[in-house]
Structure 1
Amino acid sequence: MPLEPGNSPGFLLWHATLRWQRELAAALDPLGLTHVQFVLLACAWWLNTKGVQPNQLTLSQQAGIDVKMTSQVLRALEDKGLIERHTDPLDTRAKRLHVTDRGAALAPRAIEVVEQVDHAFFHPALSAGNLQFLRELARHGER
């Protein structure tokens, strides 16, 4: 017998995810970013601050986003002047990613906005045990 929707972990997670994504979209809209654009910009910015100029594959893996989608979204970020793609001197098929000054100014602001949304959304239900549970869920597909 199937579970009632209110007792189905997947159904509940689906609804929670949709609500969280709506709140993130609303918070990022004034910054001119979609959620996926934010994730890629933030990951590229973070890697650049660590001295790494990732290629698209490395960035897609860091962000957990499909390589083809990463390429499309990077094009949009490049059109906005937030990132630059340069041919890798060691592999002319690969593009190295560098966050522009404009992107480097926007990324930390966007991260702060997202952290505020995350805090407001998750804080009421978040405990150390719940955070560990989310970590396990995130790693589940990597096994």
Structure 2
Amino acid sequence: MGPSDPEQSPGFLLWHVTLRWQRAMVAALAPLDLTHVQFVLLATTWWLNTHGEDPNQLSLARYAGTDVKMTSQVLRRLEDKGLVRREVDPADSRARRLRATERGAELAQRAIAAVDAADAAFFAPVGDPTGFLASLRHLADRDTS
């Protein structure tokens, strides 16, 4: 069992864990009529709003770690659903500030609770998540460029 064995490859195993986790997220969010990306952008918009920020599309994409063009498309869909509003930025009429609507804020909170429960169930076999979370943060914070 050398490095060429996929079962010994951390990347291969992470890929499979990610696929299973994504399926758990899809199942948790389906009753709320949200895709995972819609959830991430809605929840991030709501969270930033509750912390005194009305992000524009670029800052939301950077914070959420999403592609800017894809973020624009998903935000249009969330706007069509009445979950977010794009308001003209008083400081720059070309820019739009994002706000979760009342309905969007309520749905974001319900979706966060559903995702938290799904995460807790999915990661329960890890046990105490402290070290696991520290490892994930370390990997997420690495600059691989």
1:61-107 deviation line (CA, Å, top 9, x unaligned): 11111111111100010010000001212112211001101001101
Distance 2:64 2:57 in 1: 10
Normalized against structure 1, the TM-score is what?
Answer: 0.94
**Could you tell me which residue of structure 1 aligns to residue 69 of structure 2?**
68
Superposition CA RMSD, Å: 1.4
Instruction: Point out where structure 2 has 5 or more consecutive residues left out of the alignment.
Output: none
Superposition misfits of 4+ residues, deviation over 2 angstroms = none
Q: 1:141 to 1:54 in 2, by over 3 A?
A: same
2-structure distance, mates of 1:27, 1:133: 25
* SS of equivalent residue, structure 2 residue 98: strand
- Pair 94,138 (structure 1): closer, same or farther in 2 beyond 3 Å: same
Gaps of 5+ in 1: none
Letter paired with 2:33: G
1:140 corresponds to? 142
For residues 143 and 31 of structure 2, the distance between their equivalents in structure 1, rounded to whole angstroms, comes to 33
Query: What is the number of residues matched between the two proteins?
Result: 143
Q: Secondary structure, in 3 states, of the residue corresponding to 1:52?
A: coil
- Matched with 1:41 is 42
* Amino acid in the other structure paired with 1:61: R
Indicate how the Cα distance of structure 1 residues 93 and 142 shifts in structure 2: closer, same or farther if over 3 A, else same: farther
What residue is the counterpart of 1:129 in the other structure? 131
Deviates more, 1:33-42 or 1:1-10: 1-10
Identity level (%): 62
Task: State the alpha-carbon separation in 2 of the partners of residues 27 and 58 from structure 1.
Answer: 27
Tell me the SS of whatever aligns to 1:54: coil
